[in-house]
Amino acid sequence: MNLEQRLSELEARVSQLEKEAAAATTAETEKHLNDLPNSTKEIIQKEIEKAKQSELIVGIDPESYLAKEILWQSRKMIELENSVSKISSSINRLKRLLSKS
């Protein structure tokens, strides 16, 4: 396998990780809202969107299951961001090596 093929594979992996991170967050939210009545789901989803737009934190009891789940998801997102960063650095190094040769 040459460097260009490896570079292409790494770029595809970065793209996949970015998509998985967004999908995981959405999937986890849907999982928590799954058993709620539709009207409650709609209200919560609207509030989440408002919070995203204004960057407000939705008040949650820190000892609740949801708070612990959010903390866990945050840690997973940080791990994914670190992985993406490392892969991006590797891609950039490979690009520099390819441009030198």
Here the contacts of 21-28 (C-beta below 8 Å, separation 24 or greater) are 21/77, 21/80, 21/81, 24/73, 24/76, 25/73, 25/77, 28/69, 28/73
- Domain count across the chain: 1
Does this model's pTM top 0.85? My answer is no
Q: Which one, of 89, 64, 81, lies nearest residue 24 by Cα?
A: 81
In the chain, % of residues over pLDDT 70: 90
The letter for the amino acid at 20 is E
Q: Which residue has the higher pLDDT, 10 or 37?
A: 37
Which residues form the domain of 21?
3-100
Of the ranges 44-58, 62-76, 77-91, the best mean pLDDT one: 77-91
